[in-house]
Amino acid sequence: MTFMKGMESSARYFDEVAGEWDTLRKGYFRDEVREKAAELAGVRQGERAADIGAGTGFLTEALLGRGLEVVAVDRSPAMLAELERKFGGRPAFRGLSGETEALPIETGTIDCSFANMVLHHVESPEAMIREFFRILKPGGRAVLTDFERHGFAFFLTEYHDRWPGFHPGDVEAWFRAAGFASVEEGPLGEICQAESSEGVRAMVPIFFVRAER
Ligand SMILES: C[S@@+](CC[C@H](N)C(=O)[O-])C[C@H]1O[C@@H](n2cnc3c(N)ncnc32)[C@H](O)[C@@H]1O
Protein backbone atom coordinates (compact mmCIF):
# COMPACT_ATOMS: atom_id res chain seq x y z
CA MET A 1 0.00 0.00 0.00
CA THR A 2 1.39 3.41 -0.84
CA PHE A 3 1.80 6.14 1.75
CA MET A 4 -0.90 8.70 1.08
CA LYS A 5 0.38 11.86 2.72
CA GLY A 6 -2.23 14.39 3.77
CA MET A 7 -5.18 12.01 3.59
CA GLU A 8 -7.62 13.23 6.18
CA SER A 9 -9.81 10.24 6.73
CA SER A 10 -10.23 6.54 6.31
CA ALA A 11 -13.30 7.24 4.17
CA ARG A 12 -11.34 9.31 1.70
CA TYR A 13 -8.51 6.81 1.75
CA PHE A 14 -10.77 3.94 0.66
CA ASP A 15 -12.30 6.06 -2.08
CA GLU A 16 -8.79 6.69 -3.36
CA VAL A 17 -7.63 3.07 -3.37
CA ALA A 18 -10.85 1.34 -4.50
CA GLY A 19 -9.65 0.84 -8.09
CA GLU A 20 -6.47 -0.91 -6.95
CA TRP A 21 -7.78 -2.59 -3.79
CA ASP A 22 -7.88 -6.10 -5.29
CA THR A 23 -4.18 -5.89 -6.15
CA LEU A 24 -3.23 -4.28 -2.84
CA ARG A 25 -5.28 -6.79 -0.86
CA LYS A 26 -3.40 -9.73 -2.37
CA GLY A 27 -0.23 -8.29 -0.84
CA TYR A 28 -1.81 -8.04 2.62
CA PHE A 29 -3.50 -11.41 3.09
CA ARG A 30 -4.25 -14.62 1.20
CA ASP A 31 -7.45 -15.82 -0.47
CA GLU A 32 -7.56 -18.55 2.18
CA VAL A 33 -8.92 -15.95 4.61
CA ARG A 34 -12.30 -15.90 2.89
CA GLU A 35 -12.42 -19.67 2.44
CA LYS A 36 -11.77 -20.16 6.16
CA ALA A 37 -14.38 -17.52 7.07
CA ALA A 38 -17.00 -19.27 4.91
CA GLU A 39 -16.12 -22.64 6.46
CA LEU A 40 -16.37 -21.25 9.99
CA ALA A 41 -19.85 -19.94 9.22
CA GLY A 42 -20.88 -23.27 7.70
CA VAL A 43 -22.50 -21.49 4.76
CA ARG A 44 -25.11 -23.32 2.71
CA GLN A 45 -26.34 -22.70 -0.81
CA GLY A 46 -29.43 -20.46 -0.91
CA GLU A 47 -28.70 -18.71 2.38
CA ARG A 48 -28.72 -14.94 2.68
CA ALA A 49 -25.39 -13.42 3.69
CA ALA A 50 -24.25 -9.91 4.59
CA ASP A 51 -20.72 -8.72 3.77
CA ILE A 52 -20.16 -5.68 5.99
CA GLY A 53 -17.46 -3.25 4.88
CA ALA A 54 -17.36 -5.29 1.69
CA GLY A 55 -14.77 -3.21 -0.15
CA THR A 56 -14.45 -4.60 -3.67
CA GLY A 57 -16.12 -7.85 -2.68
CA PHE A 58 -13.35 -10.17 -1.45
CA LEU A 59 -15.85 -12.13 0.67
CA THR A 60 -18.84 -11.36 -1.54
CA GLU A 61 -17.21 -13.13 -4.48
CA ALA A 62 -16.58 -16.31 -2.47
CA LEU A 63 -20.10 -16.32 -1.03
CA LEU A 64 -21.74 -15.82 -4.44
CA GLY A 65 -19.53 -18.65 -5.70
CA ARG A 66 -20.96 -20.90 -2.99
CA GLY A 67 -24.50 -20.13 -4.10
CA LEU A 68 -25.54 -17.62 -1.43
CA GLU A 69 -27.44 -14.39 -1.86
CA VAL A 70 -25.22 -11.52 -0.74
CA VAL A 71 -26.02 -8.05 0.56
CA ALA A 72 -22.76 -6.08 0.48
CA VAL A 73 -22.56 -2.87 2.52
CA ASP A 74 -19.87 -0.22 2.35
CA ARG A 75 -19.73 3.51 2.95
CA SER A 76 -17.26 4.26 0.16
CA PRO A 77 -18.93 5.30 -3.12
CA ALA A 78 -15.85 4.17 -5.05
CA MET A 79 -15.90 0.72 -3.41
CA LEU A 80 -19.62 0.43 -4.16
CA ALA A 81 -18.93 1.33 -7.80
CA GLU A 82 -16.35 -1.47 -7.96
CA LEU A 83 -18.86 -3.89 -6.44
CA GLU A 84 -21.44 -2.90 -9.05
CA ARG A 85 -18.91 -3.25 -11.85
CA LYS A 86 -17.98 -6.75 -10.71
CA PHE A 87 -21.30 -8.18 -9.49
CA GLY A 88 -24.03 -5.78 -10.63
CA GLY A 89 -26.80 -7.49 -12.58
CA ARG A 90 -26.42 -10.82 -10.76
CA PRO A 91 -29.80 -11.57 -9.15
CA ALA A 92 -28.10 -12.88 -6.00
CA PHE A 93 -26.16 -9.65 -5.42
CA ARG A 94 -27.19 -6.38 -3.82
CA GLY A 95 -24.80 -3.54 -2.96
CA LEU A 96 -25.89 -0.97 -0.40
CA SER A 97 -24.40 2.26 0.84
CA GLY A 98 -24.30 2.35 4.62
CA GLU A 99 -22.41 2.62 7.87
CA THR A 100 -21.38 -0.38 9.95
CA GLU A 101 -22.93 1.22 13.01
CA ALA A 102 -26.39 1.65 11.41
CA LEU A 103 -26.69 -1.00 8.73
CA PRO A 104 -29.28 -0.52 5.96
CA ILE A 105 -30.55 -4.09 6.50
CA GLU A 106 -33.81 -5.12 8.16
CA THR A 107 -33.72 -6.78 11.56
CA GLY A 108 -33.63 -10.58 11.59
CA THR A 109 -33.25 -11.14 7.84
CA ILE A 110 -29.71 -12.55 7.43
CA ASP A 111 -28.48 -16.16 7.81
CA CYS A 112 -24.81 -15.30 8.12
CA SER A 113 -22.96 -12.04 8.45
CA PHE A 114 -19.29 -11.42 7.73
CA ALA A 115 -16.79 -8.62 8.16
CA ASN A 116 -13.18 -9.01 7.12
CA MET A 117 -10.61 -6.35 8.10
CA VAL A 118 -13.28 -3.80 8.90
CA LEU A 119 -13.49 -3.67 12.70
CA HIS A 120 -10.14 -1.87 13.02
CA HIS A 121 -11.52 0.97 10.87
CA VAL A 122 -14.79 1.72 12.63
CA GLU A 123 -15.39 4.35 15.26
CA SER A 124 -17.32 2.02 17.58
CA PRO A 125 -16.50 -1.70 17.28
CA GLU A 126 -19.17 -2.50 19.87
CA ALA A 127 -21.88 -0.70 17.87
CA MET A 128 -20.88 -2.62 14.75
CA ILE A 129 -21.13 -5.94 16.60
CA ARG A 130 -24.58 -4.97 17.94
CA GLU A 131 -25.63 -4.40 14.32
CA PHE A 132 -24.18 -7.79 13.38
CA PHE A 133 -26.53 -9.27 15.97
CA ARG A 134 -29.59 -7.22 14.98
CA ILE A 135 -29.60 -8.22 11.31
CA LEU A 136 -29.30 -11.97 11.96
CA LYS A 137 -32.19 -14.40 12.02
CA PRO A 138 -32.48 -16.46 15.21
CA GLY A 139 -29.84 -19.18 14.82
CA GLY A 140 -27.94 -17.05 12.30
CA ARG A 141 -24.13 -17.06 12.38
CA ALA A 142 -21.61 -14.24 12.38
CA VAL A 143 -17.94 -14.56 11.47
CA LEU A 144 -15.58 -11.66 11.97
CA THR A 145 -11.93 -11.74 10.92
CA ASP A 146 -9.38 -9.05 11.77
CA PHE A 147 -5.84 -8.71 12.98
CA GLU A 148 -4.54 -9.05 16.48
CA ARG A 149 -3.32 -6.16 18.60
CA HIS A 150 0.02 -4.89 17.27
CA GLY A 151 2.56 -2.12 17.84
CA PHE A 152 3.01 -0.85 14.27
CA ALA A 153 2.22 2.88 14.37
CA PHE A 154 2.36 3.18 10.58
CA PHE A 155 -0.89 1.17 10.27
CA LEU A 156 -2.62 4.15 11.87
CA THR A 157 -0.68 6.95 10.20
CA GLU A 158 -0.27 5.53 6.69
CA TYR A 159 -3.26 3.19 6.30
CA HIS A 160 -5.76 5.24 8.31
CA ASP A 161 -6.60 2.44 10.72
CA ARG A 162 -8.66 3.59 13.70
CA TRP A 163 -7.54 0.79 16.07
CA PRO A 164 -4.16 -1.01 16.42
CA GLY A 165 -5.79 -4.42 16.05
CA PHE A 166 -7.57 -6.15 18.92
CA HIS A 167 -7.14 -8.66 21.69
CA PRO A 168 -9.44 -11.47 20.44
CA GLY A 169 -10.81 -11.94 23.96
CA ASP A 170 -12.04 -8.31 23.99
CA VAL A 171 -13.89 -8.82 20.71
CA GLU A 172 -15.37 -12.07 21.99
CA ALA A 173 -16.64 -10.17 25.06
CA TRP A 174 -18.27 -7.54 22.82
CA PHE A 175 -20.07 -10.33 20.93
CA ARG A 176 -21.39 -11.74 24.21
CA ALA A 177 -22.45 -8.28 25.39
CA ALA A 178 -24.34 -7.78 22.10
CA GLY A 179 -26.48 -10.82 22.97
CA PHE A 180 -24.91 -13.65 20.99
CA ALA A 181 -25.62 -17.00 22.63
CA SER A 182 -22.63 -18.94 21.45
CA VAL A 183 -19.28 -17.26 20.83
CA GLU A 184 -15.79 -18.58 20.14
CA GLU A 185 -12.55 -16.93 19.10
CA GLY A 186 -9.26 -18.28 17.84
CA PRO A 187 -6.35 -17.85 15.45
CA LEU A 188 -7.36 -18.07 11.79
CA GLY A 189 -3.91 -19.42 10.90
CA GLU A 190 -3.33 -16.56 8.46
CA ILE A 191 -1.34 -13.34 8.67
CA CYS A 192 -1.74 -9.77 7.48
CA GLN A 193 1.46 -8.25 6.19
CA ALA A 194 2.35 -4.71 5.19
CA GLU A 195 5.35 -2.47 4.75
CA SER A 196 5.72 1.14 5.84
CA SER A 197 6.96 3.97 3.65
CA GLU A 198 10.26 3.65 5.56
CA GLY A 199 10.58 -0.06 4.89
CA VAL A 200 9.36 -1.39 8.26
CA ARG A 201 7.82 -4.81 7.59
CA ALA A 202 4.86 -5.95 9.69
CA MET A 203 3.38 -9.44 9.97
CA VAL A 204 0.34 -9.60 12.22
CA PRO A 205 -1.71 -12.74 12.98
CA ILE A 206 -5.38 -12.76 11.97
CA PHE A 207 -7.98 -14.00 14.45
CA PHE A 208 -11.62 -14.97 14.03
CA VAL A 209 -14.70 -14.67 16.18
CA ARG A 210 -17.57 -16.99 15.32
CA ALA A 211 -20.94 -16.52 17.00
CA GLU A 212 -24.56 -17.65 16.77
CA ARG A 213 -27.63 -15.63 17.51
C1 LIG B 1 -9.67 -2.88 4.74
S2 LIG B 1 -11.09 -2.70 3.73
C3 LIG B 1 -11.66 -4.39 3.70
C4 LIG B 1 -12.55 -4.65 2.53
C5 LIG B 1 -12.99 -6.12 2.38
N6 LIG B 1 -13.79 -6.54 3.51
C7 LIG B 1 -11.80 -7.03 2.16
O8 LIG B 1 -11.58 -7.94 2.97
O9 LIG B 1 -11.08 -6.84 1.16
C10 LIG B 1 -12.27 -1.91 4.82
C11 LIG B 1 -13.58 -1.53 4.14
O12 LIG B 1 -14.50 -1.11 5.16
C13 LIG B 1 -15.17 0.06 4.74
N14 LIG B 1 -15.55 0.80 5.93
C15 LIG B 1 -14.72 1.31 6.87
N16 LIG B 1 -15.42 1.89 7.85
C17 LIG B 1 -16.73 1.75 7.52
C18 LIG B 1 -17.95 2.17 8.14
N19 LIG B 1 -17.95 2.83 9.29
N20 LIG B 1 -19.11 1.86 7.53
C21 LIG B 1 -19.12 1.17 6.34
N22 LIG B 1 -18.00 0.77 5.71
C23 LIG B 1 -16.82 1.05 6.29
C24 LIG B 1 -14.17 0.79 3.85
O25 LIG B 1 -14.81 1.69 2.96
C26 LIG B 1 -13.47 -0.36 3.15
O27 LIG B 1 -14.10 -0.69 1.94
Contact call for residues 119 and 132 (beta carbons, < 8 A): no
Rounded distance between C-alpha atoms, residue 193 and residue 189, angstroms: 13
Fold classification of 10-212 is: Rossmann fold (3.40.50)
Residue 1 pLDDT greater than 90, yes or no = no
Average pLDDT over residues 76-82: 96
Q: Could you tell me the residue ranges of all domains in the chain?
A: 10-212
Quote the DSSP letter at residue 99.
Answer: B
Question: Looking at residue 123, what DSSP letter applies?
Answer: S
**Nearest CA owner, ligand 1 atom 11:** 53
**Is the CB of 122 inside a 6 Å radius of any atom of ligand 1?**
yes
Q: Residue 29 — pLDDT band, cuts 50, 70, 90?
A: very high
Q: What share of the chain is helix, strand, coil (3-state, %, to 5)?
A: 35, 30, 30
Average pLDDT over residues 178-204: 96
SS3 of 131, please?
Answer: helix
79 CB within 6 A, ligand 1: yes
Query: Is residue 190 in contact with ligand 1, taking CB distance under 6 Å?
Result: no
Paired strand residues for 202:
194
CA 53 to ligand 1: nearest atom: 12
Q: What pLDDT was estimated at residue 8?
A: 53
Check if 13 has its Cβ closer than 6 Å to any atom of ligand 1: no
Taking the centre of ligand 1 as the mean of its atom positions, its distance from the CA of residue 99, in whole angstroms, is 9
- Dihedral, CA of residue 145, residue 32, residue 50 and residue 116, to nearest 10: 30
- CB of 155 closer than 6 A to ligand 1? no
Q: CA neighbours within 13 Å on the CB side: how many for 106?
A: 2
Max mean pLDDT among 19-28, 154-163, 168-177 falls in 168-177
Task: Work out whether the CA dihedral 107, 37, 189, 156 comes out positive or negative.
Answer: negative
- pLDDT of residue 177 exceeding 90, the answer is yes
User: Does residue 53 line the site of ligand 1, with CB under 6 A?
Assistant: yes
- When computed from its CA atoms, the radius of gyration of the chain, rounded to whole angstroms, is 16
Mean pLDDT of the chain, nearest integer: 94
Residue 174 binned pLDDT confidence (cut-offs 50, 70, 90)? very high
User: Mind listing the pLDDT tens digit for each residue in 200-213?
Assistant: 999 999 999 999 99
